[in-house]
Structure 1
Amino acid sequence: MFVHGIGGLRDAAEERREWLNALADGARAAGHADAVSGLTQGWLAETRFADYSDLFTDPDAQGAGAVPGAGAPEEREDQQDTAFMTAFVRALIDEVDHQARERGDRRTAAVAEDALAQLPDEDGEDDQEQGVGEPFRVLGRVLTTLLQAPGLRGSAQWASGLPLLSHLSQVGRYLRRREADGDKRTLDARIRDRVLSGTDPDRPLIVVSHSLGTVVAFEALRGYGGRVPLLVTLGSPLATGAAVLQRLEPQPPRTPARVERWLNFWDRDDIVVGRPRLERWMRPNASGVVPVTARVDSDGLWVHTATKYLRQAAVAGPLVEALKAGPLVEAFEK
């Protein structure tokens, strides 16, 4: 099962194909050319792309933390949303600064410092003076500054800071646990229900998750009753302590009970990923399983895409090996 991260509306069938093709490239690089046809034609494993993207655009599912000016009602924001997004954006910029200094990239470090200097206070006390929505507009300008860094400039994913902030705000909206209008279920619960829809606990399930999807998968699996031979997390913000890790449920966070192996991959140049601390902050399940983190290196600074990770031999290799150990066929139901 593939679980996507932040972004706009998805075409589940097309993205499933793209993720499988990327995984096939990674399998070939890892010496598993014999698995390529099995992956792309569907006989090695039945694969589902769990698409919950429409829940972030459904008016009945809108939660707090949406970004004014990006299609969301301004009156829903509050000081808690401002504090979360400011802390989250600060953590991302800190990562860019840290990575640039490691590489000796003074130009990118200077851009990051400039962006940090523009950040508003995290307590949100000045919201009323600034006007409704102003803190988010400031954060949008901060991210626009960040996107001027040499490696980020001209990114095809986000032309300016406000669209990027709109997508990043999905993390905050998921973690707010607020009931949607006319629905007693919170947005995060609706997302987890969507992800687990069609899975069969009587059949083993391999989960490959990316970005916000790693948070969703982690929480969705906490009460899952079936075998999970392998959980793969790519470009995960789970280790972003103040902003994400402390908001996970349950607390303190621990590996979901039925997960038998957890591989966590990060790219040094992926700004959405905190430095590799996850294994130190995640408690083991009853079987002693904790995440094992490995670094991969992709081309370019902006590497926060699932397909770039899946093309890595280090990612695809153990995933294909787990599939070959099958039969690991996930229930597929739309």
Structure 2
Amino acid sequence: MATAKPQLVFVHGIGGLRDAETERRQWLGALATGAREAGHAESVSALTQDWLADTRFADYSALLTPRGAQGGGAEGKLDPSDEEVLSGLLDAMVEELAERFPPEAGSREAQVVGQARHHLDALGSGSRAQGPGELGRRLVWVTTSLLQLPGLRQTAQWLNGQAFALHLAQVARYLNRRGAKAALGAAVRARVLDDWDPSRPLVVVAHSLGTVVAYEALHEYEGQVALWVTLGSPLALGGVVLQRLVPRPPSCPDNVGAWLNFWDRDDVIVGRPRLADWIAPSPWGVKAETAPVRSGGLWTHTATKYLEHAEVAGPIVEALLP
């Protein structure tokens, strides 16, 4: 009996407005590079031509991008309702960076992290009471400080701290469960789940904020998922993300057959690999299997950087093969 053609779904993370078809091809191209490295050169044409699987790029970017903040510049302002979560996210990021660049090291990176910590500590010392917008301004000071880190300063991903803060605030916007704000998260998940066919095999590859969206979407999905791959995931960022996930307590979705999580030590947005400890297994014993990768270049927090690795691409292709 013929097996139904698999579905491959890419779920993006933070950033500006997306061109779904362009990015679908970019992600597929990176996956093809990794597939060759993994010894699957014979499957590359079938992968890139959609013969192996029907590939979809789930684009929800328009729902989380405020009007006037589409580009990488300083347009747009932080929403005060998002500032608390953004503050927690930055605090977790700076804490992770301080472990990697301890103050006693005396390095340039350690000095930058110390500067960011100074601005965050000022938020709890009464400085936040200096008037409307003060918290947002100080949060931008934190992101401006972080952009002095070599891997961030030399990338074109963000032009300034304001743009960096606005994109990070997308995590806060998605996780805001208060009143009408909760409808935004539901709309994002509906956009991601659109056109998934529960009768066909499914592989989901999610990146950054997309891993948070995918976690909740998979709990709502009625079909089976052969493989879920998370890249550069902030799911293990304690109170700021983990404790806001729905459903609670956090657990691997019941319908996931295997969960592979990859993280890069130079990725400043990802939490350390604690998913297997902090997110419970599914009733079938499936939990996150985490492995590190090491990317070259200036900026490692991109899905394509991860997908070019053989250890990432290999299991994806193998899950799609008949």
Q: Which residue matches 2:135? A: 135
SS at match of 1:208: strand
Matched to 2:133, the amino acid is G
Shift of 1:100: 3.2
Pick aligned residue for 2:303 from 290, 293, 306: 306
Match of 1:331 in 2: none
Q: 1:71 aligns with which of 59, 69, 76?
A: 76
TM-score by length of 1: 0.87
Evaluate the alpha carbon distance shift between residue 29 and residue 105 of structure 1 in structure 2; reply closer, same or farther with a 3 A threshold: farther
Could you list the per-position Cα deviations for residues 287-311 of structure 1 after superposition, in whole angstroms to 9, with x for gaps in the alignment? 1100100000001453100000000
Tell me how far apart the structure 2 counterparts of residues 33 and 8 of structure 1 sit (CA, whole Å): 33
The CA deviation at 1:136 is: 1.4
The count of aligned residue pairs is 308
Query: Is 1:246–2:243 an aligned residue pair?
Result: yes
Cα–Cα, structure 1 residues 7 and 114, in superposed 2: closer, same or farther, change >3 Å?
same
**Are residues 322 and 105 of structure 1, via their aligned partners in 2, closer, same or farther at CA, if it must alter by over 3 Å?**
farther
Distance 1:124 1:8, change over 3 A: farther
1:116 paired residue number:
117
Q: Deviations over 1:99-131 (max 9, x none)?
A: 2359x682211211111112255669754x332
Q: Which runs of 4+ in 1 moved over 3 A?
A: 120-127, 178-181
* Alpha-carbon distance in structure 2 between the residues aligned to 1:265 and 1:38: 25
Structure 2 Cα separation of the partners of residues 115 and 188 of structure 1 = 29
The 1:105–1:23 alpha-carbon spacing in structure 2 relative to 1, beyond 3 Å, is farther
Where do 1:153-232 residues align within 5 Å? Answer: 153-178=153-178, 180=180, 186-232=183-229
TM-score, length basis structure 2? 0.90
Counterpart amino acid of residue 234 in structure 2: P
Q: CA deviation at 1:57?
A: 3.2
Matches of 2:142 and 2:62, distance apart in 1 = 27
Q: Once the two structures are aligned, what percentage of the paired residues are identical? A: 55
Does the CA-based 8 Å contact 1:84-1:122 persist in structure 2? no
Aligned residue for 2:240, secondary structure, equals coil
- Aligned-partner Cα distance in 2 for 1:221–1:141: 36
Work out the CA distance in 2 between the residues paired with 1:91 and 1:58: 24
CA–CA separation in structure 1 for the residues paired with 2:122 and 2:193? 38
Q: Could you tell me which residue of structure 1 aligns to residue 40 of structure 2?
A: 32
Cα gap change, 1:142/1:254 in structure 2, threshold over 3 Å: closer, same or farther?
same
Match of 2:57 in 1: 49
Where does the alignment leave 5 or more consecutive residues of structure 1 unmatched?
A: 63-68, 327-334
Quote the offset at 1:188 in angstroms.
0.3
Question: Could you say what the CA RMSD is over the residues aligned between the two structures, in angstroms?
Answer: 2.2
Residues 178-213 of structure 1: CA deviation (Å, up to 9, x unaligned): 4558xxx61000000010011111111110000000
Where 1:47 maps in the other structure, the secondary structure is strand
Q: Is the CA contact 1:6–1:168 (under 8 Å) kept in the aligned structure 2?
A: yes
1:13-36 Cα deviation digits (max 9, x unpaired): 000000000000000111110111
Structure 2 unaligned blocks of 5 or more: 1-8
